[in-house]
Amino acid sequence: MSNSDLKSRALGVLRRFYGYNSFYPLQFEAIQCVMQGNDAVVLMPTGGGKSLCFQIPALLSDGCAIIISPLLALMKDQVDALQGMGIPAASVNSAQSDTFNREVIEQVYAGRIKLLYISPERLLSEIEQWSEKIKVSLFAIDEAHCISQWGHDFRPEYTQLATLRQRFPSVPIMALTATADRLTRDDISQQLGIPNARLFMTSFDRPNIRLNVVSNVSSSDKMQMITHFLKAHHTESGIIYCMRRNDTEKMASRLRGQGFNAAAFHAGMSTIEKEQVQTAFLNDDIPIICATVAFGMGINKSNVRWVIHSNMPKSIECYYQEIGRAGRDGMPAEALMFYSFGDVVTLKSLAKDSGQEAINMNKLKRMQQYAESNVCRRRTLLSYFNEHIDHDCGNCDVCLNPPERFDATILCQMALSAIVRTNQREGVTAIIDILRGSGKTDILSKGYDKLRTYGIGRDLSFASWNAYLLQMLQLGIIDVAYDDYNHLHVTQYGWEILKSNKHVMLSKFSYTKPAPPAKGSRQKEISLDNMPKADNELFELLKETRLAIARAQHMPPYIVFSDRVLDVIARSLPTSREEFAALYGIGEKKTEMYWRPFTATVKQFLEKHPQ
């Protein structure tokens, strides 16, 4: 097949099944590579469109493609999505009965299945039996970072996949991952024994995710900001990451107390409880999950609209992965992270006890630099992954609300002298109390009210001092003695400021509550064409239509249509089958199944609001 033939056939399949008109960057190149019989490693961020890279070759080739996936939930999700588009896909797994699994294999023998999803251990134990009888078109290894011991999600069963190349020398192998960690990436082709694989790597930027960081707010203010945020996003789903199991429970129950529909999720819960929470989230029954980082792997839900970190994560890799769960459909999404002095102290002590102190302290430092960044956060984030962009993103808190800098020399000197006068034997709270002239017995009993620095900083709030001390820590003016009750110490640089009037600039602390988005959170048009903005009321009505269909068919709403497709419908107002069929993201099968209910909703809306 010539290249132009391949391209037109691939585009035909793309339109017919998926309802898309063009490929995302490198999708066609990756498809072409395996169609020519070569191996490929595909590195794209979440939402980058990896699945199509193996699904289209599967549809264009004879035989059946085998997709290796580590998690049952992911397999189920993909199989549901494919079947929903009219593509013959199936999976063999332990959640299905033996009889059912056998039937699936019979279907594969009969050539009726184009994509078969399976776990690595099952594949390796069963493939001898089938390999004679089926023509394998392609092996696709999803979540391929699981093969690397460097990664955050090493799975020993993946390492045996190295035998695939030997056993099936002529079947192309495609490995795919969204991991941004370089060591892991480099390891993949080696571990899989496909040294000649071509690499397809796109930018890891996720421009639709708005990045926000809020530093140093008291815990009651934090809670208030979270509820404020949730109210502004009340029709949307999202995840609140908490540091400890206990925090997830507390957060969920406080939110429920305020009328939000929230549930906790952590590794200490039973499998059944966890599954229930996860399913309720996927089905849009419970929109808010308060979770430890245990939640998220295996969550393919494309309409997660926001992610909140109630504490700073321990590394940029973790942070990137966690915020990446938002906005997979490419529609605007929000990431909001809270960051405090206390987080740094806790995470440092965890890093110290981790057994890999040097590495983890360094990761933490990079994470802190991100949180403290006074330049575009996206640039800071991407530069960590060695990707450099030459412009500010315009979609992070720093770009949208640049910090004001001021000469803080005197302010620093006040704090430094308070630290010196306590003989560097107090932590941050006592120092602030001294500066603000607190009457706490603890302060008075130590005679701190007699110090010359007592009360000299009472013009600033506790939160402001906290923020400035944190910046001083970042700048290396003070240090926290983690091995000595977290007492504050003055560094060499700090002494210079104290003695020689060396100037210091700090960023002005202002209480930046994340601005409530205009309407829902679909405030920023980053989508497709220059079509007019979707009507929010119609969008919500379409969501209801989608939910009703999803409930009736027992599948998650995002499998029926992504938010992005609903947005397109809301903006293009299709009232006929033809108009509906022509839209982005609507293939033949979905046209057939859904044009009536959705165009009916549009018509009802138009009757109420003549355009």
CB of 329 to ligand ADP, least distance (A): 5
Query: How far is it, in rounded angstroms, from Cα 246 to Cα 268?
Result: 10
Between CA 159 and CA 167, with CA 162 as vertex, the angle to 5 degrees is 140
Within 368-407, which residues bind Zn ion (CB under 5 A)?
376, 378, 392-393, 396, 399
Burial class (CB in 10 A: 0-12, 13-18, 19+), 257: exposed
- Residue 495, SS3? helix
Query: How far is it, in rounded angstroms, from Cα 184 to Cα 534?
Result: 41
Q: Which residues pair with 70 in a beta bridge?
A: none
Binding-residue total with Zn ion (CB under 5 A): 6
Binding-residue total with ligand ADP (CB under 6 A): 16
**Residue 145 contacts which entry, Zn ion, ligand ADP, none (Cβ below 5-8 A, type-dependent):** none
Can you say how many angstroms the Cα of residue 150 is from the centroid of all Cα atoms in its chain?
Answer: 20
CB of 524 to ligand ADP, least distance (A): 18
Residue type, 610: P
| Options 10, 40, 41, 44; binder of ligand ADP; rule CB under 6 A | 44
Assess 20 for contact with ligand ADP (CB under 6 A): yes
- Residue 382, SS3? helix
Quick one: which of 202, 205, 75, 86 has its CA closest to 140? 75
Within 23-42, which residues bind ligand ADP (CB under 6 A)?
23-24, 27
CB of 550 to ligand ADP, least distance (A): 16
Binding mask 325-364 for ligand ADP (x = CB under 6 A): ---xx-----------------------------------
Assess 302 for contact with ligand ADP (CB under 6 A): yes
| Options 49, 172, 238, 494; binder of ligand ADP; rule CB under 6 A | 49
Instruction: Give whichever of 420 and 549 is closer to ligand ADP, judged by the CB atom.
Output: 549
CB of 83 to ligand ADP, least distance (A): 14
Instruction: Give whichever of 305 and 328 is closer to ligand ADP, judged by the CB atom.
Output: 328
Within 413-442, which residues bind Zn ion (CB under 5 A)?
none
Handedness of CA 456, 460, 461, 465 (dihedral sign): negative
Instruction: Write the DSSP string, 332-360.
Output: -EEEEEEE-HHHHHHHHHHHHTTS-HHHH
Cβ atoms of 367 and 316 within 8 Å: the answer is yes
**Residue 138 contacts which entry, ligand ADP, Zn ion, none (Cβ below 5-8 A, type-dependent):** none
Instruction: Give whichever of 185 and 328 is closer to ligand ADP, judged by the CB atom.
Output: 328
Query: How far is it, in rounded angstroms, from Cα 182 to Cα 190?
Result: 13
CB of 147 to ligand ADP, least distance (A): 17
3 state SS for 450-491: HCCCCCCCCCCCHHHHHHHHHHHHHCCCEEEECCCCCEEEEC
Cβ atoms of 347 and 364 within 8 Å: the answer is yes
Within 439-468, which residues bind Zn ion (CB under 5 A)?
none
Instruction: Give whichever of 255 and 304 is closer to ligand ADP, judged by the CB atom.
Output: 304
Q: Dig out the tokens for 172 from the structure.
A: 């192309």
Window contacting ligand ADP (CB under 6 A); options: 46-54, 105-113, 132-140, 587-595: 46-54
**Residue 453 contacts which entry, ligand ADP, Zn ion, none (Cβ below 5-8 A, type-dependent):** none
CB of 68 to ligand ADP, least distance (A): 14
Assess 562 for contact with ligand ADP (CB under 6 A): yes
Window contacting ligand ADP (CB under 6 A); options: 49-57, 187-195, 408-416, 456-464: 49-57
Query: How far is it, in rounded angstroms, from Cα 431 to Cα 437?
Result: 10
Longest Cα pair distance anywhere in the chain, in angstroms?
89
Query: How far is it, in rounded angstroms, from Cα 411 to Cα 406?
Result: 10
Query: How far is it, in rounded angstroms, from Cα 577 to Cα 565?
Result: 15
Cβ atoms of 153 and 143 within 8 Å: the answer is yes
Within 188-207, which residues bind ligand ADP (CB under 6 A)?
none
Q: Edge-to-edge, what's the strand order for the sheet holding 288-291?
A: 209-215, 333-339, 304-309, 237-241, 288-291, 262-265
**Residue 44 contacts which entry, ligand ADP, Zn ion, none (Cβ below 5-8 A, type-dependent):** ligand ADP
**Residue 396 contacts which entry, ligand ADP, Zn ion, none (Cβ below 5-8 A, type-dependent):** Zn ion
| Options 48, 70, 332, 587; binder of ligand ADP; rule CB under 6 A | 48
**Residue 65 contacts which entry, Zn ion, ligand ADP, none (Cβ below 5-8 A, type-dependent):** none
Quick one: which of 429, 507, 499 has its CA closest to 475? 507
Binding mask 151-190 for Zn ion (x = CB under 5 A): ----------------------------------------
CB of 392 to Zn ion, least distance (A): 5
CB of 294 to ligand ADP, least distance (A): 20
Assess 303 for contact with ligand ADP (CB under 6 A): no
Window contacting ligand ADP (CB under 6 A); options: 19-27, 152-160, 410-418, 532-540: 19-27
Quick one: which of 558, 541, 527 has its CA closest to 598? 541
| Options 17, 47, 376, 435; binder of ligand ADP; rule CB under 6 A | 47
Determine how β-strand 64-68 pairs with β-strand 115-118. parallel
**Residue 399 contacts which entry, Zn ion, ligand ADP, none (Cβ below 5-8 A, type-dependent):** Zn ion
Within 41-100, which residues bind Zn ion (CB under 5 A)?
none
| Options 30, 31, 39, 51; binder of ligand ADP; rule CB under 6 A | 51
Query: How far is it, in rounded angstroms, from Cα 327 to Cα 345?
Result: 31
**Residue 376 contacts which entry, Zn ion, ligand ADP, none (Cβ below 5-8 A, type-dependent):** Zn ion
Q: Edge-to-edge, what's the strand order for the sheet holding 198-201?
A: 89-92, 115-118, 64-68, 136-141, 173-177, 40-43, 198-201
Assess 117 for contact with ligand ADP (CB under 6 A): no
Quick one: which of 544, 547, 584 has its CA closest to 564? 584
Residue type, 536: N
**Residue 153 contacts which entry, Zn ion, ligand ADP, none (Cβ below 5-8 A, type-dependent):** none
Torsion of CA 562, 567, 569, 572, to 10 degrees: -150
Return residues touching Zn ion (CB under 5 A): 376, 378, 392-393, 396, 399
Return residues touching ligand ADP (CB under 6 A): 20, 23-24, 27, 44, 46-52, 302, 328-329, 562
